[in-house]
Chain A
Amino acid sequence: MTAYILRRLVLLLPVLLIVGVVVFILVHLTPGDPAAVMLGPEASNEQVQQLRDQLGLNDPIYVQFIDWVGGAIHLDFGNSIFLNMPVTTALWQRAQPTGLLTLYALIVSLLIGVPSGIFAAVRRNSLLDRGLMALSVSGAAMPSFYLAILLILLFAVTLHWLPSGGYVSITDNPVQHFKRMLMPAFSLGFANAALLARLIRSSMLDVLREDYIRTAYSKGLAQRRVITLHALRNALIPAITVVGSSLGALLGGAVITETVFTLPGMGQLVVQSVLRRDFPVIQGAVMVIAAIYVLANLLVDVLYIYIDPRVRYGNK
């Protein structure tokens, strides 16, 4: 088991190297000059060249690449051109909003998705089932930014219950923090909840047809016990894969949610950095996101072992 995890972690290195090379090339092939963006539209050529020299942008591309790889090995992604701070600091500042947003969205999707899936399966073909599934189809079909705008119009513009956007750190003011994260978490988590509900419903239906469920009923167990103790655990296995891979989808969706709700997260940082041509930040952020993705997949694989004892990895 430990050997398996270690092997997977070692495999992370070539993945990151490939991602790094590809991103570096893409970023440097894209036209656009960070120095010109920084100095504004009316800066003279002379000024721009001066700043390019200062930033090392006039060095040959292979020199820039070697410098960058040399730093990245020590987890030093260089300095942000635009923000005038180390890339790692910039990423770390943005990690909290994105991390918490993804976490809350995941919680929202589990809180809504799992019970709806179970209820729909247990009350199969009832009005409740059809209602929940209709909601889930429309939830999965609706783009999260559209839901976000509807939520803002209702709760911020019309009712004035919640602020329309912005971020307050959880340590600064927990109440404000949750007020500001409620709509983003819901709009991001809802589509995922819908997906999860449909999945749990169908795998639950499969499990409920199994013999051991009938046995459980026949030995006189209450329905609640049968569902939670016997059926759910087995029905959750396919759901775990989806939750794991949806972590990636949530991180990706966070880009849009962060833009609509003005949350200063990693997604916003990447988008803004592309517009500003802030090369070091784009490179650093993509590396970190790639690493998170790979690690999340590893986590899911490990979780399998705990939920389904039949699963074994490694050399026997």
Chain B
Amino acid sequence: MKILINVTVNQKKYELAVEPNMTLADMIREELKLTGTKKGCGLGECGACTVLLDGKPVSSCLVLAIEADNRDVVTIEGVETEKGLHPIQQAFVEKGAIQCGFCTPGMVLSAKALLDENPHPDEQDIRKAISGNLCRCTGYQKIVEAVQSVSARK
């Protein structure tokens, strides 16, 4: 039996009827058609499905949609500003922090959660903050440099 939930995603309010076993990742991708959230493992190990739940980064494949009831979700589609790319996204583009791009949405959200809480992280803070987001392409260095450059700008 489906359960009715109220959830805010990227500042838009939704009333959704979801199966009790539906994950937040599937709700975002399949119900809301926001495919920027990626699924790499379904086990909470790769971090590609990272979204912000009340400002905290979570693996959305490990959260049930019903757990998001009356809560606030930010996906990669909600990061861009009206003026264009968010400074973190801009830095990822400029610094070469993106290769295949599959980990990028989750990586950007983990970086955002970090910078929202700590605008001047050191390198180790950044590495820790993104350590739940696996990247097989970049070796992480340019991602770390991108996040550092945003914190320097602030």
Whether chain B is bound by chain A comes out as no
Q: Which residues of B are at the interface with A, using a C-beta cutoff of 8 A?
A: none
